[in-house]
Structure formats: structure tokens, C-alpha cells
A and B are shown apart, each in its own frame.
Chain A
Amino acid sequence: MKLLAVIETSAPLSSLYHIMPSFPWFGMDIGGTLVKLVYFEPKDITAEEEQEEVENLKSIRRYLTSNTAYGKTGIRDVHLELQDLTLCGRTGNLHFIRFPTHDLPAFLQMGRNKHFSSLHTTLCATGGGAYKFESDFRTMADLQLHKLDELDCLIRGVLYIDSVVSSGPSECYYFENPTDPDRCIQKPYTLENPYPLLLVNIGSGVSILAVYSETNYKRVTGTSLGGGTFLGLCCLLTGCSTFEEALEMASQGESTRVDKLVRDIYGGNYERFGLPGWAVASSFGNMMSKDKRESVSKEDLARATLVTITNNIGSITRMCALNENIERVVFVGNFLRVNTLSMKLLAYAMDYWSKGQLKALFLQHEGYFGAVGALLELLHPA
């Protein structure tokens, strides 16, 4: 059903075998805030193989698959796990793990303790951290990184995951009736004929790519107002310290106490320019007044921050879509993780301001595509 199969699975097994790298298979994406790790757990190991397998490899496999949390901050997103996946002729499960970038030293320490380097595996890594921490991998864990471009990996990952997910919840989805909060529901979407596509990756910062084919894409622009800005400002404004905390506060707040709306200025709609009264005229605009600063809650501030950042991304995205003449937009990145608020806002903004011309799409594995792309590079060097 999918046109985007990146991996040619019909090739004879034998021909795949001799180019198949040795286990373990990892793909890694080291971002500004989070490290994303995908791990392929082979489930078709023969008895013969099992015997040959070194203890190290078994121990790593056991450690990763039998836990859902690693150390204080590492987490396996079990709900995203892809089972019975055939990769490079092997069948197994794909696991999705993340931990904060500032805990990378602890990860390297673990790699050293588990003698990861003795497995002689190539560690494919992307994201800025692949460059920044390359020497740390070498000196702390005796590991050689194979560095990959993050946008190449991102696109490869998106196209691959969308092509292989066939069971369970649809990888791609959208919100029906985005402008009606009561009727707004999540609906599966089939990404047939995906090109051209605007791909918006919201991590710490934001990159916007226009994708015309698997290999033909360009970075249209980016903005520094991204997930890192949301969390950074929330920490300063509310004293919170995690993304989850910030989101929780935002979900309980009211941004209209913080923002100045069109109706706050004009009493209603600004008819002359077709601006509805509910539209935000000035983000944080009410905070110019001392009285209003004293009357808002932390939750209100968190909500306003979320709304401001999300709407701004929506606005820049919409302009890029117009300039590039693309109607379909896929939003990915970890800013959207457990962040239905932002997704619905984006869906709304795309639909409303484009008068229904633009469609906002989302993917289940929102933040892991770069890491998946890195893994694919290990198996099938481009």
C-alpha cells in the first residue's frame, strides 16, 4: 500500500546476509535536549547463532528489553515499539528509547562498563551531538561514531516508519473538525502520494523542510522559537523543571489572561481586516500592566507560553507552505510528545488561517525519525 518503501525486502536473503552488519543494531539521534535511541531486537535468532553470540551482546539485549526505564532519566516508549518487523532479512522488534542529552556521560559510562566497544559495531549517530560528542564517545567509551546528517536521517526515518507500520494505530493521523473543539477528533490518515510535503521538525529549535522525493528536499527555514523555548521560558516563569511538568501546568491555565486579544483592543472583531475578536493581538500583551502581572497564575503563564510558541510555529509554517506551494504539512519532533494541546492548536491554525487549504498531519513516532534514519544508514548505506 505504501509507495515509500526504503528497504527492498524482496531481494534474496543470501545477498542481504553478506552485507548485513553484525548485531547490535542501533540508531542514535543526539539533539540539543534529548538523545533518541532506536534498538532492533532480533527475534529470529537460531540456536547456532545463540551459541556464537558473545555474552556482552546478550546482556545488552536483556538490559534494554527487560526494562522500561534506565537510570534516573532514560525511558523506553513501550507504546511505540514496533513488533515483528523485518529489517534486512531479520525479524524482530524495534524499541524506542530516550534520555536527556545532559545525561549522555552516564550513558557513555554504561557503554564502557558493558564493554560495548568489544562488539566492534558501528554506531550510527545523527543530530548535532554526533559532532559535538564524537570525541567523548571515543575517549570515554572507545566507540567510533559514524556521523550522519540529521535532515537526511529525519526524512529517511519518516518515510520508512510510515511505510512499515501496518498494524495497530495508524502512524499518520490528523484532527477532524479542528475548528470545533467539541467535535475535534483524531483520525487516521494514509500518506499515499506524499510529495510534495512540508516537514516541520520541532525539537529544541525548529527546522522546516520541503520534501519533493526521498532524496530531493531542502531546508526552507527554521526558527529558534521551539520546544527549548517553551521549556526554557516555562522554567523561568513558573519554576518548573521538566517538560511534563510544564505541559501539565499549561493544561490547567488560561492564556487569555496573559495575552492581549483583538477584542481587548477593539471591543470585538477588527472587521476592517477580518480579525476575529478571539485572535491574539499581542502575546503576553496584558503583562505590560502591573496589575495584570500580579493577577495571573503560573498555569496561565505556562499556557500562554505554549500557545505563543505553537501559534508562531504554525504561522511560519503556513507562510512556508504558501511560498513553496505545498498543501500538506507533517509535524514531527519531541515538542509534540504527549502534547495534544499543541497538536490541536496547530491543526486549528493551519485550517483556520488557510481557510481549509492546509492540512496538518502528525506521526505517532514523532521524535524518533532521526534515530530510525540513522539505523537505516547502518543497514543500507545510502
Chain B
Amino acid sequence: MAEWSGLHSSTSRHTMDKSITLPPDEIFRNLENAKRFAIDIGGSLTKLAYYSTVQHKVAKVRSFDHATKTEMVDELYEISVQEEVTARLHFIKFENAYIETCLDFVRDHLVNTDTKVIKATGGGAHKFKELIERKLGLRVDKEDEMTCLIKGCNFVLRNIPHEAFVYAKHADSEFRFQTTQPDIFPYLLVNIGSGVSIVKVESEDKFERIGGSSIGGGTFWGLGALLTKTKRFDELLQLASKGQHTSVDMLVKDIYGGSYGSLGLTGDLIASSFGKSATADKGFPKEDMAKSLLHMISNDIGQLACLYAKLHNLSRVYFGGFFIRGHPVTMHTITYSINFFTKGEVQALFLRHEGYLGAIGAFLKGAEEDNPNQYSWGENYAGSSGLMSVSPDMNPMQRARSGTFDMLEMDRLERKLVNLPLLQDASSYIPDTVDLAEDALAREYWLYCFEEALDGVVKRALASQPDMPEAAERAEKFRQKYRHKLQTLRHQPFAYGSLTVRSLLDTREHCLNEFNFPDPYSKIKQRENDMALKYYQKVVKSLEELSWEERQFALIRGVLAGNVFDWGAKAVSDVLESEPEFGFEQAKRKLEGIPSISLLCGPPHKCALFFVDNSGLDIILGVMPFVRELLSRGTEVVLASNSAPALNDVTNGELQILTESIAAMDPVIQAGLREDRLTLVQSGSSSPCLDLSRLDKVLAMVVRERKTDLVIIEGMGRAIHTNYYAMLSCESLKMAVIKNSWLADRLGGKLFSVVFKYEVPAAGHDSEALTPP
């Protein structure tokens, strides 16, 4: 692969610090195309940011031009793998001790950049200015720290789902991730560095430092060092986590003997921090003093934050700065303080990428001419380390020597993503049905499941590129990467936000793409599409022969039978591997519990939005006849399919070709297309699941214009793993076949049970879910 060769050359290795080795395909990736550098140098950590283009393979489908072809081809379309260039943001965090080594590395790998300037922020930017300019030959351009911080904060809140979380030390899952809010403003950012800054953010460009405090991280560190003779911040936190503050602090019960009932102050409350060290003529354990100090400072900051939040009537309060940065100890004490002072009315929020805010903001300042905020960005799970990849509380001494690198990569998405306008309440919408971080049993099962399936995926990926000799090596790298991700998630389920079946699937897709397997199922999809097309007319004909009532029943049955053909489900892929002739009729017989209700008996809907699932039998023999029926009733149809491949899900590109081909056989579909009553749109997603809060802007526009009054969501990924509980403002139908016996058990059904969930908003009519077998 051309783009890797530069990095594999070892020309620069000898210049590096012997104490660390930088694996070039893991750290500082894609440097050869890097531009727009930014750096944020804090008290102990440096964060480097750059923009780069990534060349990777994408699968494209193109219709054979049958008119000009002399020989007959079996296939409807051809598949080609093309190179595509996409934009990616890279952020790397490392200890200041390695800054020189890292700058050397960056310089040695910069190939063709015309960058002249590096944006810099953070307290250390001044100190290292000369070094950066000398090493990189770039002019250091300093940016205001607070401005960068806020810009970065806005960016992650807007672009990274599950960026913010609530910390609950004693809960089943310590991290409770928040769903992305449609409107992130206004909010309060409490940045706890050596001092505290409290900033009110009202819009992208409008923010104000409304207050602060001199009692901050520097007070904990400085005073703590004096009291305990312990020098390092991390070690002080360690001490504090082992101490008992009650020997140093004067509690309410030390004064009252118990609680101060009339004020509701409990006996354990601290009445006077260090109040006991004033009277007793004795020494105190270091741990106890550190703990008392930690409480004193956390409570004080929490109290001030609450007073400011109240004065400005703000309920979203994010905490950041080195005092917080991934330290469970301080997140806990701050959370406690906020809960105490607001009686639970305000929640302390923390950010997964808090450490990167300054670097992101500085980068954005430098990239303003590229208009980064007009795009949507997505966290690349393959290239990002995840929360607490470097656990600061594990072992500070060890960490000091090891030199660890933490990374965040964000891909620029092709399309701007927005909410589905038909969500009943966008701010409370949660796509995922089960949070695996909170459900240990489910987590165990799914992690196992994905690990088990890995060999098959590797095999499939390899088979999709038979003509590429180095595919085996890439496939192996993919295997290692994804297995490593699964192992990480086993220990840190919170690494990428809420752990869900969707995130596990998406991580796999990101890893496959990372190693240039853009569409492992392309050939299977092609074969199945070609095969299913041959049966289309026969299926339509047999449906037309049925009475109206029988046809309604058969149409639903058809969609569900089609949905059996899902290579992502192990139970199905086993059958499909062993019985390649497994057909539509067999699938119908496998179904358990087909609902005998008719959806289409009332007046016709204005417009139906259909989120489709698999290619092949599913889309062609299941969905299309149903679409046909809708069109015949006078309902407009919008078919939403994936923008890019995921498993054997039909992509928008494939669906365009398939629909044209069907239109050639079917006047109803043809008329629908011609009269613009059948519209194909891309969802903006490349996931087997569906996040209705991140959909293509065009889709949202079409949905609004057509006055959509029925939403159909099909398939396990879109209707069960996600959106099972999604509340829409119009009629909706969720249908899927359960192709996983564990899940079927959980839902109280059998393998191949049917989920058919028809919901009407407000009036509350809900013809329930799983029909018993």
C-alpha cells in the first residue's frame, strides 16, 4: 500500500529518544498529508492536533450499460473498489517529557505540507515556543486559552455522541453518558486548573468568564505538598483516596453531638475543614490531611459553581481542567458537592475528551477558513484510545516512566447530520435499547458473541478481496485491532461512551475500513440481489392473486421473511453458509408468530418513510412489494438506506440500481419514480443500526416536505438494538425477526420470533410487540 510505505521506512528511528519507541502506524498517523497543526501545552501533558487527508478504499457499484454490452452479463451491476480521500482530525496526547522526541518525529514524517504556522495554546506554549519553532520550522501563533477551550468544548458536545457523562462512583456503571442535545447552549464550564474559571457559554461565539476562584487544583497541589511532603499531584490524589478526613475535619456531630436537625444538617457534614487540627497538639496521617484538603477544595468549587449556576439560571454545568481530568477521585468529590449544594437539581457533567478541548479549539481557530463547523464529524473508534486509556490513578510512578500516548481521531462526514424531525422529543431520545455498561450479563454475552464472530468476519473480509495479495496481512491486522478493542471494552466498558450492540458493530465497521475492507459483503449482496430480482415478478403476481385481506397479511409476512436474510446474525449465516439454496419460502416457514393485523386498512397515509435493512431477498422480495402496495394506495414512499456499506445492508447506491431494475419490470414502481412519489434517500449512516438523531440533512428535509405520517423501521439492528423504545410523533411500525437465540430468550420468544410494534402517538394505541410463538 503506497500510503503506508513512508511510515514503514525506518530512516528516522535512530534520532529518537531511546526511552520510547513510537510505532508509526499507531501514533502520529497520516502525517505525510498533515496540515494545520495546533498544540496545547499544559502543565504536564502536551496535546498535538493536525488535519490530514486519509486515502482509503471505498466500494462503489455501477450499473452495467446493457444497451451497449454485446455479451450478456449475469450481474445487474459491477462492483469496484475506488480510492477516496476523506478528511480526518488527529489529536495526540503525551507527556511534556517527550515533546522533543515527538517534534522530531513529526518533522521527519512531514512530507508535503505547505503549512507555515502552528497554533499554540496552554500555559506551556510560551515555554516551548522556541523549541517548536526550531524543530518544526513553523511559526508559533498563540491563541487565547479560554477561547480555545470553549471552541473545543462546543465542538465535542456537538459532534461526539455520549461526550458528556455523569459520574456515579457507587452505581453499577460509574459513567452515565448523556445523549447529545439538539441545542448545546447555554452551559457553564467550570475549568479547574491551578485556579478556577467559571465561564458561561451562550453561543458558538458568545461566552463570558462570569467568575472564578483562587482555590483550585494549584491549591490542592501546593498546600498538599506543604502538608504531606508529597510532590506529585497524582500521588497526592492517591494519598487522599486512602485517607479519613474525619480525624482532621470538625464535623457537625463534633459540635452538636449529632445532627443539626432544624437546619437539616446531618452529623457527618463538615462544619469546619481542618477544624480538628487547630485544637489537637498532635500530628496527622498524610492520607487524612490530603483527604480533608480534597474535600475542602472540591466542596468549595462545587458550592461556587452552584451559586453561579443559580444566579445565571443554568442547569448544564461541565467540569474540566487538570484537577478533574479523568480522576475518579475528584469527579466523585465534585459530583458529591454539586448534589449536596443543589439538592440534586443540577448534575455535575464531565467530558470524555476534556483533555483535548484546548488543542481542538486551537486547531479550529487555525482552520476557520475551512469552515470545520459546517460539517458533521464522527469519532473514529478504530483510531481513538477511549476514555482512561491511561488511567491516572492506577500507578502514578509507573505511568511517569512509561510514556503513554492517548489518541482521538475524528472523521469528517460526507453529510451534515441532523435529528429526524419526527422524533417526539429529540432531547430525550436514546437510540440504543440496552446499555451494556449497565447490564453486565448482556455485556458478557455480546462481547463473547462479537469475539466468536471475529474469525468469520476476517474470513469474509479476505474473501471479498481475492485478487489482493496483501489482504491477508491487513485482515490479520484487522483481527488484532478489533480483538484489542473488545478486550479494552471488557475492562473499560465506558471507553467510547455507552457500550451498546450498535457501538460494537460500528467499531467493527471502523476497524474494517481502517484496514481497507470497505465492503466485505459486496459480492454476496450482488449475488443475492441478482437472484432475488429473478423472483420479483413471480412474487408480485402471486400477491395480486390474493384477496385484499390475504394480501395485507402476506405482505407483512414477506417483509419479515425477507428480514431473515441477515448475514450479520450468526443463526442465519450458519444456515446460509451451509444451505446456499435456502430460499424465501423456507424463510417464511421459519418465522415464529406472524401478526395477523392489517396496517393498511384505514385511510391512506400521506407519506411513509421506510428505513430498510438487508439487500437481496429482504429489499427486493420483502420490502418492494410492500412499497408497491403503499404506492397503489396513494401513499408516497421515501426509502432510506445506508450511505456506505455495513454488513449486507443495502446501500443507497445499490438501491438506486435495484429500484431502476424493478421499475423496468413493474409499472407501479416505475410510475412512482416518474411521478416522484417514490424517493430514495440516503440515511447518512454506515451502521447496521440507526441513530435517529444523526441523519442526513436531506432526508430530514424530504421528510418535512412530504409531510411524512408513517415511519417504518425494519430489522434487528434498526428496530431492536436501536429504536425499540423510540417515540415518534407520527404512526410508526417497527418490525424485525429475532435472529439471535439469546436475545429471543431475553424478549421471551424463540429464535425467528417476530417483533412487530405498531405505535400511534399521543392517543396511546399500541398494538404490542413480540407476538408469542
State whether A235 and B277 are in contact (beta carbons under 8 Å apart), knowing that A132-B256, A285-B219 are contacts in the complex: yes
> B226 contacts which of A203, A219, A287 (Cβ < 8 Å)?
A287
Contact A283 B214 (CB under 8 A): yes
Cβ A232 vs Cβ B274 within 8 A: yes
- Distance in angstroms from A9 CB to nearest chain B CB is 30
A237 to B225 alpha-carbon distance, docked (Å) = 11
Chain A contacts of B214 at CB under 8 A? 259, 279-283, 285, 308, 311-312
Closest chain-B Cβ to A266's Cβ sits at a distance in Å of 10
In the complex, whether A205 has a CB less than 8 A from a CB of chain B is yes
Is A6 positioned at the interface, with any CB of B under 8 Å from its CB?
no
Binds B, one of A48-56, A110-118, A222-230: A222-230
Distance in angstroms from B722 CB to nearest chain A CB is 43
Pick from A204, A279, A316: contact of B307, CB under 8 Å: A316
Chain B interface: which size bin? 35 or more
A319 is an interface residue with CB less than 8 A from chain B: yes
B299 & A224 in contact (Cβ 8 Å cutoff): yes
A19 to chain B minimum Cβ distance, whole angstroms, is 26
**Complexed CA–CA distance, A304 and B753 (Å):** 71
Given A33-B278, A241-B281, CB of A287 within 8 Å of CB of B296? no
* Closest beta carbon of chain A to B394's beta carbon, Å: 22
Is A156's CB within 8 Å of the partner chain B? no
> A233 interface residue, CB < 8 Å from B?
yes
Tell me the nearest residue of chain B to A207, going by C-beta: B263
Q: In this assembly, does B146 line the interface, its C-beta being within 8 Å of a C-beta of chain A?
A: yes
**Docked-complex contact A293 and B226, CB < 8 angstroms:** yes
From the candidates A133, A223, A232, name the one contacting B300 in the complex (CB within 8 A).
Answer: A223
Q: Cβ of A132: which chain B residues have Cβ within 8 Å of it? A: 254-258
Q: Give the docked Cα–Cα distance between A361 and B677 (Å).
A: 77
Interface flags for B273-301 (1: CB within 8 Å of A; 0: not) read 11111110100100001000000100110
Cβ of A157 under 8 Å from chain B: no
Docked Cα-Cα span, A235 to B216, in Å, equals 22
* Contact in complex: B273, A232 (CB < 8 Å): yes
CB of B112 within 8 A of chain A? no
**What distance in Å separates the Cβ of B247 from its nearest Cβ neighbour in chain A?**
12
Whether a CB of chain A sits under 8 angstroms from the CB of B94 is no
CB distance from B440 to the nearest CB of A (A): 38
Instruction: Provide the residues of chain A in CB contact with B299, threshold 8 Å.
Output: 223-224
Enumerate chain B residues within 8 angstroms of A279, measured Cβ to Cβ.
214
Is B454 part of the binding interface, using a Cβ–Cβ cutoff of 8 Å?
Answer: no
Contact B273 A228 (CB under 8 A): yes
Tell whether B45 is near chain A: CB-to-CB under 8 Å: no
Partner of A316, one of B252, B296, B304: B304
Any chain A CB within 8 A of the CB of B399? no
| Min distance, Cβ B269 to any Cβ of chain A, angstroms | 8
A229 touches B272 (CB 8 A): yes
B194 touches A282 (CB 8 A): yes
Q: Which residues of B contact A320 (CB under 8 A)?
A: 307
Known: A204-B255, A308-B214, A319-B311. A281 touches B195 (CB 8 A): yes
Query: Hey, what's the 0/1 contact readout for A109-134 against B, CB within 8 Å counting as 1?
Result: 00000000000000000011101111
Of chain A, the residue at the smallest CB distance from B253 is A132
Interface residues of B in 326-358 (CB under 8 A from A): 341
Contact assessment for B311 and A229 in the assembled complex, using a CB-CB cutoff below 8 Å: no
Q: Are B146 and A273 in contact (CB under 8 A)?
A: yes
A228 touches B194 (CB 8 A): no
Distance of A285 Cα from B249 Cα, bound (Å): 23
In the assembled complex, B248 has its CB within 8 A of some CB on chain A: yes
Contact B255 A31 (CB under 8 A): yes
Beta-carbon contact of B195 and A282 below 8 Å: yes
Q: Within the assembled complex, what's the spacing in Å between the Cα atoms of A203 and B227?
A: 23
Among A133, A232, A273, the residue within 8 A (CB) of B209 is A273
Q: In angstroms, how far is the closest chain B Cβ from the Cβ of A171?
A: 27
User: Whole-angstrom distance from the CB of A138 to the nearest CB of chain B?
Assistant: 13
B569 at the interface (CB under 8 A from A): no
Shortest CB-to-CB span from A371 to chain B, Å, is 16
Which listed residue, B217, B218, B289, touches A236 by the CB 8 Å rule? B289
Contact (Cβ within 8 A) B248 A308:
no
A224–B271 CB distance below 8 A: yes
B218 close to A285 (CB less than 8 A): yes
Please tell me if the beta carbons of B307 and A282 are within 8 angstroms of each other in the complex.
Answer: no
User: A33-B278, A273-B146, A280-B214 in contact; A225/B311 too (CB < 8 A)?
Assistant: no
12 residue pairs from A and B, CB less than 8 Å apart: A128-B252, A128-B260, A133-B257, A134-B257, A205-B270, A205-B272, A224-B270, A229-B273, A283-B216, A284-B218, A285-B222, A287-B222
Extra contacts, 4 of them, besides A32-B250, A319-B211 (Cβ < 8 A), are: A224-B299, A225-B215, A272-B146, A281-B195
Task: Please give me the 5 A-B residue pairs with the lowest Cβ-Cβ distance, nearest first.
Answer: A287-B222, A232-B274, A228-B272, A128-B255, A132-B257
